[in-house]
Structure 1
Amino acid sequence: MNQHAAGEAHAEQDGRAGCDDRERLARAALTRIFEPGDERAGRWLRETGPVELVRRLGTADGSAERLPGMTSVRLGGYRLRAAAAEAERDLAVAAAAGGRFLCPGDREWPTQLDDLGDARPLGLWVRGRSDLRLWALRSVAVVGARACTPYGAHMAGELGSGLAERGWVVVSGAAFGVDGAAHRGALAAGGATMAVLACGVDVAYPRGHAGLIGRIAEQGLLVTELAPGDHPTRSRFILRNRVIAALTRGTVVVEAEYRSGSLVTARGAQRLGRFTMGVPGPATSGLSAGVHELLRGEAVLVTDASEVAELVGGIGDLAPVRRGPVLPRDLLDAVTARVLEALPYRGAVDGREVARAAGVTADEALGRLYELHSLGFVEREGDGWRLTPRPVRGEDARRGGT
């Protein structure tokens, strides 16, 4: 193998076939300069390319001022950040933490993120051994309230484990509440889970989830737009939600108030043409009010992992048929059931009366009555037949009992 071919093979193994070193360094630097989801920056990047954009921001030749929408105030802020950006150092820090930096066009880049247009991530910092593109192809987001109820935590955990058992990657934000329960459910089932962070891949936030985030890094994937060492802000939490929505096949919301970041994720998913689902809760709970508002619109009501998989999956991902408990009388054939229904709730009747009420011959009625007797439904009383007495409860109580 010649040197050029060897280099291409190495690049393919590292997930770098679509991005050369100069572009990779430039995009890594830009994650230090621009905030996630900056559509103006995305337009400049699309029009100039990452290397040229970094050059313009770092020089005083007047080229940066000519960018559409650029102002002196903005440019001053960008240049302060550009001066402090050290892309090679950031790449080394990420590598030391077991991470890597992906660019659009890389083999591992999830192309569904391109649906975000100019708000597409400049690049992604990823920590974990698995292939992000392949995992994202069969992924579902489970999001919801941080201060969730025990019901919300239970439902998120059940969804996480159930989806993982069905081969789906569970995506969430590693926050307290619903996020953490969904991740733990997937991990408990030995499944795959991915956390999209609002901080660097080497930062454990929230600190109370340091252990969980470490487990996800070992067994799953951590994904972020922010450079190593960056810490979360309120706006970064909101902006990372668009990545969760675009990355996955669908979003399930488990408990959310009217002003919830989880609803931002769900509505972002709707705009992108992804499936949006909600788990209902008590009508009196403020934590379910936002979910119920979604369900009044385009969201689909789901109650377990099989219903989620049926919606977002392909042929064969069908939820089981829902039905109530099977009662002993449900197993009777039609004629025998009709004979049983011909008996009154109180008292005994002659076999001929049973035959007339059931619309069968006397001999047929007698044969069926003996069958019902052997099954414990009826008993003899002199020359007549009556229903076997049983405790008065439920519907029987409303009918007067037997």
Structure 2
Amino acid sequence: MNNLINQKNEWREVLKIVKQLDPKKLEIIKSTLPILKEHGETITKHFYQRMFKNHPELLNIFNQTHQKTGHQPKALADAVYAAAANIEDMSKIIPALERIGEKHRSLQIKPEHYPIVGENLLGAIKEILGDGATEEVLDAWADAYEIISDVFIRMENKMYKTTEAQPGGWGGFRDFIIDKKVEESEIITSFYLKPKDGQEIAQFIPGQYITIKAEIPGEINTHLRQYSLSDRPGQDYYRISVKREDKKENDIPAGIVSSFLHHELQAGDILPITAPAGDFYLNTESPLPVVLLSGGVGLTPTISMLNSILDSQLKRDVYFIHAARNSRVHAFKEHVLALTKENKQVKSFFVYDNPSDEDRTSKTIAKEGYITLEWLQKILPTKEAEFYFCGPEAFMRVINRALKQWEVPSDRIHYEFFGSFGDLDANIE
């Protein structure tokens, strides 16, 4: 974890040396921020359409499902607004910068991509705002983008070098062999990945993820997806546990990559992956109890944390709380029950919102329905703990709101978004 602590300091050092925006242009940026906030998603949707038309090769990097759902345009709009709003002192948003930088490094975003993004972003602003995007306004935003992109390029260059130089580290994509597939539930399957070259693999901190490159027959473009590592570090393999995303009613098709992994790939097949990344990780230096909350496949990073705490023999109480529809889709249930039985420091609680009759009689359900603040306050002896949670966005909003209402300090609330970033604090009263 020390490397990531050093990385935060490096962000601060980079921010000290970037050039400052001209005061006149700064005033223009400030005056146009409300317009950006109002039209941000429209601009970013148009930006992606424009960029993919001009540079179709970038379809090999960006998740097209997130384009269809609107998650990615919204995430970009929020990120651009936050960076521009804090351009005088971006140290205020270092956690957001770090999160984006980690994702960029994992996806192999390089310096040559930034001018392409800048050109098409400015073009989209001009085309959406029309007469409101005067030459003066566009010139100010061009300078602001140059400053913001310079921060990311400098920092990501350091991240690439550090990642490649670490023991077992590598740059770009490295071929891994699927050693075995294990069905964890009706919809979640684990993939054990070992390096094709047989050499050492990089360590990671529990909670981090890898990016896989899926080259699917019949598909024009490659598909990149990020999956949390679901087992402890220090082994000769990485494990990812993938939910099969079936077709949804709201015209969202079945997950092309998850379907490929579940139905097409078998033991012995090759998956290219990037080295572990991510800013969501277990703080191993805190003495406080650990509360791990997950919904659905969001348990993948929390399982890694649980396994790691017990393997490292950290003397910390662990409360493992998982929400699922029922036992049929509940992965790692028996594993967690076994760890709970074997380790007095672990207490586990399962919450099902649609349990079967067998689930009800099994006496392994702590609660039927959903996790609530009142229930958390009953089962947890204290709020003086480190809270980690991951799952569907609606689940995470409920958990985040509950912890804020319980007045848990923000620095002890940690969460991971699968896919595009979001703001869990939006609309909290």
After TM superposition, the score normalised by the length of structure 2 is 0.25
Structure number with the bigger relative contact order (C-alpha 8 A, sep ≥ 6) is 2
